């Protein structure tokens, strides 16, 4: 699946939360989106996933513009719900059964098996969601995005609330899944380490605009000298334009 986003405009309360962003998403590529609070990360991801309207621009999927078809995007793209919005009276198993007839990832031959194992939610799958910690809910929400086996999956700051072991294992499982299944994965990130260690491409947002795009060479270089890379990105985030 190839998704070409061009000159996308997303309004929130009449103001441009995403202002003319262009980006291409390909299969087998993990794209990390970074930016300060209010930079437009969540609005970009929610518009792409069909949760909010785009006011202008295009979202071309395999040659067809789907920018005016929110329902199609919501069905075609995997998107993790807000963990706080999960129904508290249901168990994780009941939640999954509403979304799919059988929860994937049980057998080692299933491509989602490593992710299910990394998230480790089977230990609390039959507990009421309302009794779970924030990290446990986050694990369920992440897996929800993959239940329909979409070719493009969108996660908004997925590693928030995860403990260090689960976050490490989940990053590794996602990287493997993207490469093996040629999925397109888009994640909003607050920390730079995942961007340099696991992502194939990066996009820096500032004030709703695309300030900088990073390719594999730049990200691998950033991993070799992470301190300098992080300082450079923070410098860009501090600047009014968010660009070099």
Confidence at residue 241, expressed as pLDDT on a 0 to 100 scale = 58
Domain membership of residue 138 (yes or no) is: yes
Domain membership of residue 211 (yes or no) is: yes
DSSP H or E stretch at residue 214: strand 209-214
Regarding whether 221 and 114 lie in a shared domain, the answer is no
Count up the domains in the chain and report the number. Answer: 2
Mean pLDDT by 10 residues, the chain (244 residues): 96 96 97 95 97 97 96 97 96 96 92 97 97 98 97 97 97 98 96 96 95 95 96 86 51
Q: What is the mean pLDDT of the chain?
A: 95
Spatial distance between the Cα atoms of 237 and 244, rounded to a whole number of angstroms: 10
Spatial distance between the Cα atoms of 100 and 92, rounded to a whole number of angstroms: 12
Confidence at residue 238, expressed as pLDDT on a 0 to 100 scale = 84
Confidence at residue 177, expressed as pLDDT on a 0 to 100 scale = 97
The HSE-up count of residue 169 (CA atoms within 13 Å, CB side) is: 15
Confidence at residue 199, expressed as pLDDT on a 0 to 100 scale = 98
Regarding whether 22 and 67 lie in a shared domain, the answer is yes
Name the pTM for this structure: 0.94
- The CATH number linked to 225 is 3.40.50.300
Residues 6+ apart with CB under 8 A from 26: 2, 184
Domain that holds residue 45: 3-80+151-167+181-238
Regarding whether 203 and 222 lie in a shared domain, the answer is yes
Domain membership of residue 174 (yes or no) is: no
Confidence at residue 242, expressed as pLDDT on a 0 to 100 scale = 54
Regarding whether 91 and 33 lie in a shared domain, the answer is no
Regarding whether 156 and 137 lie in a shared domain, the answer is no
Regarding whether 123 and 187 lie in a shared domain, the answer is no
Domain membership of residue 18 (yes or no) is: yes
Spatial distance between the Cα atoms of 42 and 155, rounded to a whole number of angstroms: 9
């Amino acid at each position: 699946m190839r998704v070409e986003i061009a000159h996308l405009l997303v309004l929130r309360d009449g103001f441009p939360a995403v202002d003319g962003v262009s980006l291409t998403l390909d299969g087998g590529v993990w794209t990390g989106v970074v930016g300060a609070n209010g930079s437009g990360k969540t609005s970009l991801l929610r518009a792409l996933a069909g949760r909010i309207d785009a006011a202008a621009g295009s979202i071309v999927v395999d040659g067809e513009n789907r920018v005016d078809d929110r329902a199609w995007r919501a069905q075609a793209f995997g998107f993790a719900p807000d963990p706080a919005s999960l129904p508290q009276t249901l168990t994780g198993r009941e939640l999954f059964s509403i979304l799919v007839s059988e929860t994937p990832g049980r057998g080692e031959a299933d491509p989602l098996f490593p992710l299910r194992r990394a998230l480790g939610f089977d230990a609390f799958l039959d507990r009421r969601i309302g009794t779970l910690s924030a990290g446990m809910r986050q694990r369920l929400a992440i897996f929800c995005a993959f239940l329909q086996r979409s070719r493009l999956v969108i996660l908004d700051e997925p590693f928030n609330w995860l403990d260090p072991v689960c976050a490490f294992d989940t990053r590794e499982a996602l990287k493997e899944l993207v490469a093996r299944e040629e999925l397109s994965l888009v994640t909003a990130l607050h920390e730079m380490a995942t961007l340099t260690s696991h992502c194939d491409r990066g996009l820096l947002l500032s004030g709703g605009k695309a300030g900088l795009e990073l390719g594999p060479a730049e990200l691998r270089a950033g991993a070799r000298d992470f301190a300098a890379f992080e300082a450079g990105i923070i410098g860009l985030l501090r600047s009014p334009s968010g660009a070099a």
